[in-house]
Chain A
Amino acid sequence: MEALVASAVGVMTAAGIFLILRRRTFPVILGLSLLTYAVNVFLFATGRLALNAPAVLNKYKDVPYTDPLPQALVLTAIVISFGMTAVIVMIALSAYLSSKNDHIDMTARDSVDAPGEDA
């Protein structure tokens, strides 16, 4: 089981990084999503794996519980990463709509030297 989770993390990380290194916005967004999965599963797995032992207390008998702390962290991470994905999607979208261009790299032409205030 551990080998399955670890290799899945590895595959998702590799694919995520490969896509992040592309030069258009959409693959980069996909790559970030994949990397998010990988990181979330990674964090979750730091609590070690357990089957049939959810961290819901049983009042009647002593049962083993899995580690709840990484779960709590990952839960918020999932929601926050949605927020972040939404923001970069919106940034990518407005950049594309404004310039009709979905390259992530700025060319020299794009960077305008802002003139300073009075020296």
Chain B
Amino acid sequence: MTAQNGVSHLSLFLIAALPFLGAVFPALLIRAGRNAAASSAGLTTFLALMGLLIHIPSVMRGEVVTARFNWIPGLGLNANFMLDGLGFLFALLILGIGLLIILYARFYLSREDPMGQFYTYLLLFQGAMVGIVLSDNILLLLIFWELTSLSSFLLIGYWKHLPEGRQGARMALAVTGSGGLAMIAGMLILGNIVGSYDLSTILQNKELIQASPYYLPALILILLGCFTKSAQFPFHFWLPHAMAAPTPVSAYLHSATMVKAGLFLMARMWPVLAGTDAWFYIVATTGLVTMLIGAVIALFKDDLKALLAFSTVSHLGLVTMLLGFGTKIAAVAAIFHIINHATFKAALFMTAGIVDHETGTRDVKRLGGLRHLMPITFTIGTIAALSMAGLPPLNGFLSKEMMLEETVHTTWLHSHYLVPGLALLAALFSAAYSFRFVAHVFLGPEREDYPAHPHDPPVGLWLAPAFLVVLVVLIGLYSAAIVGPLVAVVSSAVIGGEKLPYYSLKLWHGFTPALYMSVVATLGGLFLLSLHKRGEQIWNALPRPEAKIIFEAVIRALTLASRWITDELHNGVISRYAIILITFTVGLGYYAYSTGTIGVVTRVPLPAQIIPIIGWICLVVATLAIMWFHRNRLLSLVLIGVVGLIVSMAFNYLSAPDLALTQISVEVVTMILLLLSLNFLPTETPWDSSAARRWRDAAISVVAGIGSGALIYALMLRDFAFPTISEFHLANSYKGGGGTNVVNVILVDFRGFDTFGEIIVLGIAALIIFALTEAVLSTSVRGYLLNRKPHWPQSGDSHPLMMVVATRVMMPIALMVGAYIFFRGHNQPGGGFIAGLIVAIAYLMQYMASGYTWAIERQRFYYHGTIGWGVLIAAATGLGAWFNDRPFLTSDFGYIHWPPLEEFEWATAILFDTGVFLAVLGAVMLALDSLSRLAWQPGMAQEFPMDINPLRDDPREEDVQEKEQA
């Protein structure tokens, strides 16, 4: 059944999106005070909660509310959300307890803590959690899953100044994050088996999945994700260390929500994954072991939060075990216990937080006798703890009874006693640590040496746990009435919509085995507590592995190994990297050549005329001369200019006028750039490689050159093996893009997205250059630059009159050429790229002729802004297509007739090209401008164009003087 209407659509997206949207506010509003930040967080959570609650009627009818949005359909990634009973329960826990935590945290955090940050992290986490439980697409779910790992990392490490916080956060991230990676693999396998990543489709293919040979690997990988997240043995160790977080975080993440994400996923996948032997033995056994170990360790923890952390581990194990049994009735019990555990455990964490807050310590050994000092806290804590111990008439009793009842019916490898026996033992320890929480904190004589004077906290702190404790009692007394329908709906969602088994939520079931077991557990727990001192001595004497030390050792070994590998591979000798890369590439090319086949020649070569031959001779001679004379840097720069020029001419000759224009203008700016840099670098390259090395390098180069030349020669003499898409571009350039210059239409229309990316890259490159310049100028290098002597004798007239006049006269003409090239670009060779370069050159001429200072004083716009506007205009043009229901960057065009002008054509592509133009202009100018700033020296500011500078530095004069002195 699917209820699809506009309201439900919107509200599901909103429920998931609200916490993320709301995350912005606390960070911004913290300037307006802590109350503003807290209320904004509370309000968004409240709104999301309300959005959830309006679905109660349909959820209670057993309907599934869905909202679908195709995000990247090609990958099967759809932003599909669904709300069924299970999702509803978890969303309720997340948002409901979230609201209480937001209230509690407002009073818990101290003045020094950055509260805006806290609520932002908290809401991010909340949004990710809600996303997990509402996702109807497993890829989407994985994204949210990883988001919870990341946001919980931020929350656990919230107190950045505490090393425990940082270590705990890292450990949690390492464990849950790597589990998440395993789960991604498992989910992808699962999606491949079914052929869909939509959860609702997957859930209907139980037979297909369980019959697949990939079932077991998928199961194990997914369970790895669940077990790490839900702190199941042997991954349980991260949870106690995560307790370094502020208590509201522990209460929220580590009792009510995040650690339950693993349980949620096991419950979600229960219909298709459960019911096999593999599922039973892996899940139930892990759960059982975790339950027992957690309960035993919890009894011997003195830190209140550590005690609660291990008890959480134990209870998570309990639920895992119930899910692992694979029977429907066990699944019902699991769901019921999730509800109960969330209520009493969150209350207990908050109680622990209050005790810590008011007495200044969480060490059980230093507490006791708080009964009369903190009566409200005592009442709340005791009720919650007794529920945790499983005492009637509280809610913990009910679900624990159901659990024990189920264990009695379970056989593990033909043994009838193993599961109930161990479960009973765990229940016994569980009762013992619960009693200890009450007895050693609140009962006993009052003490004199509390670190602070304890008293009950303000109402803001105890209101949230009190509310939860009221729930604990009410659910215990009137379970069928209060949570009965919810449990029914959720359970039927878990077991895949099949008929619910018979069960009844009530306190008295008669004299059942479970009741006897409960009695034994309670009495045994009391007995154990009375022996606690003795037990502790034995416990402390026992050798036991310390998870943290093992974990750190593993991490250290991994770090050392990766550092060793990195250092060996990446030793800083860049010429070695280059030679490895080139030899490898040449080797690959040879392999392809020796194993591949080559077709017959199908094209007739073009005849070579005399002028191209002359050009070729120039190019080859210049190139070889660069190789020969590269030690003379200025000469090699001149020679490389020759090469560039001939390449431009070749482009022009070979029917590529756009390329010729681009190449020649790029050539100009590149030359200026290299000349500028040569101003600072040494003018000669010294000999520093041996002859043998040079011969080796020459041999490699020649082989690579022959290879690439032969490859392109072979390619040019053969036709395309497959039809190319160029035909499409030629045919549609005018019809679809409204331009006759196909190259330009490809740039601004067909492949506009590439071009958009490219101008961004260009802009980033220019910004990097700017940033590097800033960085260099902020160091001691600045002093060196200011006092630097030039390499060559300076001209007295650095801004010759003729050049200044000529460039200023040429400026408007150059700009007009730029505009002309720009506007004709869509139909004739030209366009934004080339126009940008031409205008940049026009500016550069002013820089060169009249001087940097003169040019900079007349500059109205920052080049950063030019780049930014370019990218924004291009993006806005692309977005415009959306408003006309077309894909991003679809262009439009038409014809306009304004008398007396001739009819002309307009295209949105020209706007896009404007963006390209601005970005190219800004990037070129910013790059060269940054480099020029390095050359600035005092004295230049007073210098006017056409002035003779008598203060110029002239190395030759100094040399002469020195010689004279000698």
**Given A4-B613, A30-B637, 10 more pairs with CB closer than 8 A:** A12-B643, A14-B701, A21-B578, A30-B636, A59-B740, A75-B659, A87-B768, A87-B769, A90-B931, A118-B163
Contacts A72-B747, A105-B575 given; does A56 touch B829 at CB 8 Å: yes
Task: Give 15 A-B contacts (CB < 8 Å), ordered by A residue.
Answer: A4-B608, A7-B709, A13-B705, A15-B705, A27-B685, A44-B651, A49-B654, A59-B740, A74-B659, A75-B747, A76-B754, A79-B758, A89-B673, A94-B775, A97-B776
Q: Which of B552, B605, B643, B705 is within 8 Å of A14, CB to CB? A: B705
Please, how many residues of chain B have a CB less than 8 angstroms from a CB on the other chain? 123
Give complex CA distance A33, B656 in Å.
20
Contacts of B575-593 to chain A: CB distance below 8 A: 575-576, 578-579, 582
Provide the residues of chain A in CB contact with B659, threshold 8 Å. 44, 71, 74-75, 78
Q: Report Cα–Cα, A24/B684, bound state, in Å.
A: 10
Q: Mark B754-767, 1 if CB is under 8 A from A, else 0.
A: 11001001100110
- By CB atoms of chain B within 10 A, which of A79, A94, A108 has the most? A79
The 8 A CB mask of B49-89 against A (1 = contact, 0 = none) is 00000000000000000000000000000000000000000
**Assuming the A-B contacts A45-B716, A71-B658, are A38 and B708 also in contact, with contact meaning beta carbons closer than 8 angstroms in the complex?**
yes
Counting residue pairs across A and B whose Cβ atoms lie within 8 Å, the total is 322
> Across the interface, which residues of A come within 8 angstroms of B575, CB to CB?
21-23, 104-105
Alpha-carbon separation in the docked complex, A26 to B712 (Å): 29
B656: A residues at CB distance < 8 A: 44, 54, 66, 71, 74
Question: Are B654 and A50 closer than 8 Å at their CB atoms?
Answer: yes
Q: Please tell me if the beta carbons of B747 and A5 are within 8 angstroms of each other in the complex.
A: no
A:3-36 near B, CB below 8 Å: 3-27, 29-30, 33-34
Contact of B776 among A19, A45, A94 (CB under 8 A): A94
**A residues in contact with B454, CB < 8 Å:** none
- Closest Cβ–Cβ distance, residue B719 to chain A (whole Å): 8
Residue among B582, B673, B784 with max Cβ neighbours from chain A (10 Å): B673
A21–B580 Cα distance when bound, in Å, is 11
Give Cα A48 to B574, complex, Å: 36
The dominant DSSP class at the A interface is: helix
A26 and B572 form a contact (CB under 8 A):
no
For residue A53, which residue of chain B has the nearest CB?
B655
A20 to chain B, nearest CB (A): 5
Q: CB-defined interface of A73-84 with B at 8 Å, one 1/0 digit per residue?
A: 011101111111
For A71, list chain B residues within 8 Å (CB). Answer: 656, 658-659, 743
Chain B interface mostly helix, strand, loop or mixed? Answer: helix
Residues of B within 8 A of A1 (CB): 605-608, 612
B781 within 8 A of A: yes
Contact A72 B630 (CB under 8 A): no
Q: Is the CB of A75 within 8 A of B167?
A: no
**Interface flag for B328 (CB, 8 Å):** no
Interface residues of A (CB under 8 A from B): 1-27, 29-30, 33-34, 37-38, 40-42, 44-59, 65-69, 71-72, 74-76, 78-87, 89-94, 96-98, 102, 104-108, 110-111, 116-119
How distant is the Cα of A91 from the Cα of B624 in the complex, in angstroms?
27
Compute how far the CA of A27 lies from the CA of B828 in the bound complex, rounded to whole angstroms: 38
Cα of A33 to Cα of B680 in the assembled complex, Å: 19
Q: Which 3 pairs across A and B sit closest by C-beta, in order of nearness?
A: A10-B709, A14-B705, A106-B572
**A9, A27, A106: the one within 8 Å of B630 (CB):** A27
Interface centre among B682, B712, B726, B928 (most CB of A within 10 A): B712
List residues of B (533-565) whose CB comes within 8 Å of A's CBs. 552, 556, 559
Are the C-beta atoms of A9 and B768 separated by less than 8 Å?
no
Nearest A-chain residue to B555, judged by Cβ: A119
A68 to B764: give the CA distance in the assembly, Å: 28
How far is B768's CA from A5's CA once the two chains are assembled, in angstroms?
Answer: 35
What is the minimal beta-carbon distance from A79 to any residue of chain B, in angstroms?
6
Question: What 1/0 mask marks residues of chain B from 898 to 928 whose CB sits below 8 Å from any chain A CB?
Answer: 0000000000000000000000100110011
Report A101 CB to chain B, min CB distance, Å: 10
Q: Is the CB of A37 within 8 A of B655?
A: no
CB distance from B132 to the nearest CB of A (A): 30
